Amino acid sequence: MRYYLLFLFIPLILFSARPDFKEGVSLYNQGAYWEALRIFAELADENEALNPQRSASAYMRIRSYNKLGFSQRALMLAREFPTSYPKSDYLDDLEFLLGEIYLDLGDAREAAWYFANSAASTNDKKIRKAAREYSESLVGTVCDDDDLHALAARSIDRTGQFLSLLVAERYLKDGDRGEAIDILFNLRPYIQDNDLRKRAIKLYNRFSPTHTDTLHVAAVLPLSGALSSIGAPILDGIRYAAMTYMDSTQQQVNLHIFDNASELSESIRIARIVRDDPRIIAQIGPLTNENIKGTAAVLEGQRIAVIAPTATENHLTGLSEAIFQFRATRERKAISLAEYAVQTLGLKTFAIIAPSTEYGQQFADNFATRVDELGGLIQYQGWYVGEPTDISRIHFGRIRELGLEELYQKMQVDSLRLDSLLTGLISEGDSVNIYEEQLEPILKKSRPTRADSLKVELSHIDGLFFPIHKGSITYIASQIAYNNMNAHILGDENWLDNKVLKKNASYLPKLTLVAGDRLGFQEISKSYTEEYIRIFKHRPEQYDLMGFDAMGMVLNAAQYAGNSGSMLWEVLINSPNYEGLVHQVQWGGNTKRENDLVFLMDYVDKAFKLTGYYDNSGFFSMDSVETELPSEIE
């Protein structure tokens, strides 16, 4: 009986010696951190069935270590806590504690991040208030420039949005308006929470202290003359963008419409009117390179943005800080196509046939230069005047002569090799001269001649590059087939004519284009098209969409520029990305005013497929991600 009673009292003695969680909290609040640590450490090591407050004990152990100055040990345990206690009620509190730990370690960047994360995740109003105050103080006064850049780029979730706004406020306070605008424009599409939106709007208002109910934008286009068929739809697109903007905002848009008839003198006269009208904050157009140059010369120094919707001449923006090239330059597109052809498609030998205009020469020369730099070989480069109605006799004839001569030389070398092998009694099957077989249709004579050369398919040219003007596809496609050239056709965006290409698809089994927009493969919504037809009585085509997107970009920037043309110029140059219906803008080049974004697309099954694109960081292949591409434009 004595032994039984002794056995019964042992668990009671042990239980009475067990540390008490409340006692540990009391000791912690009294500043007795060593004694509190002993209790919490012992409780944290217990089995969860025995101690339902195990995660709370582990959390308090971390706090005790930090109070005692063992910050690294506290940090190690804090990092392990979410894995050890994934369902703990103290996970939100842990974020604030991590902020305190990093603050004690002198790491302002990480401390700001965890305090911001705590403010975003906790339901405790007192903790949220304290966490926000810590974040604002650290970002506003303590973090250095490297910390600010890192925090602004760290995440796009709610925590990242909050910190990005704090960083933008800091930059604005320090006088770095460009950095602040850049952050706001990149952040703007992602903000959903009302409190963050209010904070962002308050910050935007600091950029535009003088709000105007009406935005004044000039449109200088050829509404008469030879280019009116381009100017008129661009203006329709501009008008529709203004209507859409006014429907969604409280601001009015006043379009100042001018017809320059593509005349340089008229463009200069209109530019003087725009310069002397203090209400106008931006100008879209004119279209041609020369007219853009004349306009920009008049507006130089005014900081009134001149959006060049169609001008693609190389180095145009270097002539005036007013010019913004909405479409990529010829050089940018030619270099991108050359890099794609050599580095991605693996093409090595090329022929170039181009119009002898400034457009054709710049495109061809930029392409050839980059191919040379990459180790490719330009075997032929030729020019034509006017429409390419007959380029077979001169250009294709010369290209075929080069190919046939190359085959003939290979045949001779192969014959000598076979004669040498025959002395070793090789089998009959091994002695076939593949080049002689290929040239068999024209070997009735001792040498192949131009007159009968079309019977032989030639593949000595890997890539045929045709930068063309609109309307030339039919001539060129049929001549490629007629001259029996087995080559990958490379072209510019003037090949984007779906109706013509469908009729000539059999002539172009391998076709890759470089373009400055997504027109070839982007789907336009049915509602957009139907409303556009209802208002303007015609379908939105290439130039309608160009006007819509160019105006959309201006209005998007104008929201944050008030009625200041200078401020709008600054907003544009510091907002590196814009995405319209079919046009995307990524400012780059030496001036940060050239659109650096170009697209590569293949013509497959009578439709264009996006293959990849080049941006400021290089080439991005669509094969590297699983993506569902939109169908071609209706």
All structural domains of the chain: 22-207 (1.25.40.10), 214-328+524-593 (3.40.50.2300), 332-515 (3.40.50.2300)
pLDDT tens digits along 440-499: 666 655 554 544 556 666 667 899 999 998 888 988 888 888 877 788 999 998 998 888
What gap in Å lies between CA 5 and CA 89, rounded to an integer?
A: 41
Segment among 38-47, 121-130, 579-588, 618-627 with least mean pLDDT: 618-627
pTM of the complete model: 0.67
Where does the pLDDT of residue 594 fall: very low under 50, low under 70, confident under 90, or very high at 90 and above?
Answer: very high
Average pLDDT estimate for 361-378: 95
Whole-number pLDDT of residue 195: 80
What gap in Å lies between CA 634 and CA 632, rounded to an integer?
A: 6
pLDDT score of 221 more than 50: yes
pLDDT score of 179 more than 90: no
pLDDT score of 433 more than 90: no
* Listed residue (209, 206, 212) closest to 279, CA to CA: 212
CB-CB contact of 187 with 213 (8 Å): no
CB-CB contact of 500 with 468 (8 Å): no
pLDDT score of 625 more than 70: no
More confident residue, 49 or 197: 197
Average pLDDT estimate for 615-625: 78
Average pLDDT estimate for 558-580: 82
Residue identified by tokens 């009694």 is 425
Secondary structure element (H or E) that encloses residue 350, with its range: strand 349-355
Strand partners, 514: 600
Whole-number pLDDT of residue 84: 86
Strand partners, 258: 220
Whole-number pLDDT of residue 610: 92
Tokens (6 digits) for 619: 């080439």
pLDDT tens digits along 85-97: 888 888 888 889 9
Average pLDDT estimate for 36-63: 83
- Amino acid, res. 575: S
Strand partners, 586: 577
3-state secondary structure of 175: coil
Whole-number pLDDT of residue 419: 52
CB-CB contact of 590 with 599 (8 Å): no
Average pLDDT estimate for 490-509: 89
More confident residue, 90 or 548: 548
Average pLDDT estimate for 414-432: 51
Average pLDDT estimate for 112-124: 87
Q: Please list, residue by residue across 100-133, b when 16 or more beta carbons sit within 10 angstroms of its beta carbon and e when fewer do.
A: bbbbeeebbbbbbbbbbbbbbbbeeeebbebbbe
What gap in Å lies between CA 478 and CA 433, rounded to an integer?
A: 32
Whole-number pLDDT of residue 450: 43
CB-CB contact of 618 with 348 (8 Å): no
